[in-house]
A and B are shown apart, each in its own frame.
Chain A
């Protein structure tokens, strides 16, 4: 069975500083990996996804993530955080078998300080 671990429940970053959110997954084959963001009272919005090819993927809002198979990781990064990035971030893994379900981590809440 697949699983996702997001080790950090909360992270506080100063506005303008860089950000890295950690995600580790467990899956026996090549995974499909996703990062979603959830603003308060909203559903989840897809930031980026990885399924093959270049291990560094670019997403919306200036985010990127790097897939490292040897570390079973898919960490999310942003060079300079804006106050509007404050939200909860979820990493998810899915199987490359058509319409499989996604397994989500428990999320990391990002707080941005002035």
Chain B
């Protein structure tokens, strides 16, 4: 597509439930990134996929968080047993030119855990 698409745009879930957040990157972009944006905390790196390489999971805050990328395209971020501190905006970005080109971001998914 023309841009990075994320769905849903908003998600309200009950504490303890699992959620899945979807990211559809720009066609042909080999790199895909997930960041979390909490109020006043800037962007926190979560996970990074590049081509067929093993993902860099170094930013995932706990084992309740996982992500996969199917066919080198769409990615799903899964949060199990959600907690209130998981409430944030989850941003996905993709890149076709590496660090040189910067990222193209989606509009994000606002997750609220009640």
Contact = CB atoms under 8 A, between A and B. Distances in A.
Tell whether A pairs with B: yes
B40 to A, nearest CB: 7
Given A101-B56, A105-B42, A106-B42, A43 B105 contact: yes
Given A32-B99, A44-B105, A99 B41 contact: no
Nearest to B96: A99
Indicate the size class of the contact surface on chain A.
20 to 34
Interface in B22-80: 30-31, 33, 35, 40-43, 45, 48, 50, 56, 59
Given A43-B4, A98-B99, A104 B107 contact: no
Given A43-B106, A45-B105, A99 B40 contact: no
A58 interface: no
A107 B41 CA distance: 8
A51 B42 CA distance: 22
A98 B4 contact: no
B45 A99 contact: no
Contacts of B56: 101
A99 B30 contact: yes
B43 A41 contact: no
- Most chain A beta-carbon neighbours within 10 Å: one of B45, B48, B56, B102: B102
Interface string A34-59: 10100001111110010100000000
Nearest to A43: B105
B37 to A, nearest CB: 9
Contacts of B41: 106
A43 B100 contact: no
B82 interface: no
Given A34-B102, A98-B99, A43 B45 contact: no
Given A46-B103, A46-B104, A99-B48, 15 more contacts: A32-B99, A34-B102, A36-B105, A42-B107, A43-B91, A43-B107, A43-B108, A44-B103, A44-B105, A95-B99, A96-B99, A99-B31, A100-B99, A101-B48, A104-B43
Q: Nearest 6 A-B pairs (CB), nearest first? A: A43-B105, A106-B42, A104-B43, A94-B99, A44-B105, A99-B31
